[in-house]
Structure 1
Amino acid sequence: MKRALILALMLGLSACSLDPLFTPGPVVQPQPRYPAPPAHPAPQARQSAPPPPASAAPPPPVRAEAPPPAVVALVAQAREDRRRGDLERAAGRLERALRIQPENARLWYELAVVRLEQGQPRLAEELAKKSLQLARGDVELQQRDWRLIAEARRRSGDASGAREAERHAAGY
């Protein structure tokens, strides 16, 4: 019993020594969480912000977002239809995919390829031009678009236009 009382007393005294009110030392004033703004800056201190450096690089091109799963499935089915020779069904699937994601340059290119295979070179050229407009920053796709335009023009009998398109393709 005496031991329990002595132990309790010792614990009580040791707890008091841990209390900050009982520890000796200087009193520290708490710092404000956010520094106060300056009262009024001196007139010479008022300056405009320095201009941004001239050598700052432009932001990188925005990458196209991944196509929705429905578009991925439609493209896979269209490619399979095309492989089997069912070009009309392939074109229909690609048109459905374009209704879902009309800003997808690769879909326009895929449809242009199908239309060229169907013997519609003028329509194929127009579709490839649409792809070209949307393919900003995608050099590979732009080259493919120009090559498709060149082939479409050749099939339409426009040899000089085909050569011009080939020059564009070679320029990338």
Structure 2
Amino acid sequence: MQRILVFGNSGSGKSTLAARLRDEQGLAHLDLDVLAWLPTTPPERRPLAESGRAIDEFVGGHDAWVIEGCYADLLELAAPLATEAIFLNLSVAQCQANARARPWEPHKYPSRAAQDANLPMLLDWIAQYPERDDVLSLAAHRQFFEAFPRRKQELTDNAERLASQGRPG
């Protein structure tokens, strides 16, 4: 029974890898972006307890799953039930290239034009990953990864990430 956490910087390929694992292994899939934010402008984080209830509902409703996101605080909530953690620790340059090439994400943006309008902000956000000091940072992801007690792997470039997508379950 696979219960996998996939995490890393924006643009690291979390959604792509999680979707591949979902499709190949028949896993339920949760993108933490959909429950981490309140529907406000400007965006505001949902209270941790509220997001935690949504994670509990998801993991309680599925035997096998993949959860992906960049929120170390939310990953911590699912970690006790996870069997594996995959840290996509690509370079900033690779993450930015992936962000430029990503397809339209209709669950996040009302149109491709809206997503493209957000790209400069996203590229800047990606560039700040190594220096930030929050639950979305390299430091938080490194700490989470090091503390995770079960099977784990760290992938550091696109070639490794793409090769791992074909790994047996």
When normalised by structure 1's length, the TM-score is 0.30
Larger proportion of helix: 1
Structure 1 or 2: more strand by fraction: 2
Indicate the structure whose relative CO is greater, using CA pairs within 8 Å and at least 6 residues apart: 2
